[in-house]
Amino acid sequence: MSVATKVHVTFSTTAGDLEDDFPPNQPLHALKREVMARLKLDVSKADEFVVVLQGNPLDETKTLGELNIPDNAVLTIERRELIKI
């Protein structure tokens, strides 16, 4: 069994999409910041956004490999829902 050296992922945002091959051992929070920077989004606001797969927010402390993100997956970067109390 071979270990994937890259995972082909499309990140979808309101500012556009970014399709590329990413290392499976990189934490998702780092990938989110990289994608935001490449799309010219304000990286200082990265914590206001969440990465979602098929409607489910992902644990950004984990890597693509730990999350079992498949090749050709589409991940969405969405604004976090703020709950007012």
Per-residue pLDDT reduced to its tens digit, 54-73? 999 999 999 999 999 999 99
* CA-based nearest residue to 13, from 58, 72, 76: 76
Question: How far, CA to CA in Å, does 64 sit from each of 22, 57, 60?
Answer: 8, 13, 9
CATH architecture classification, 7-79: Roll (3.10)
Please write the tens of the pLDDT for every residue from 15-39: 899 999 999 999 999 999 999 999 9
Sequence spans of domains, the chain: 7-79
Residue 85 has pLDDT above 80, yes or no: no
Tell whether pTM > 0.85: yes
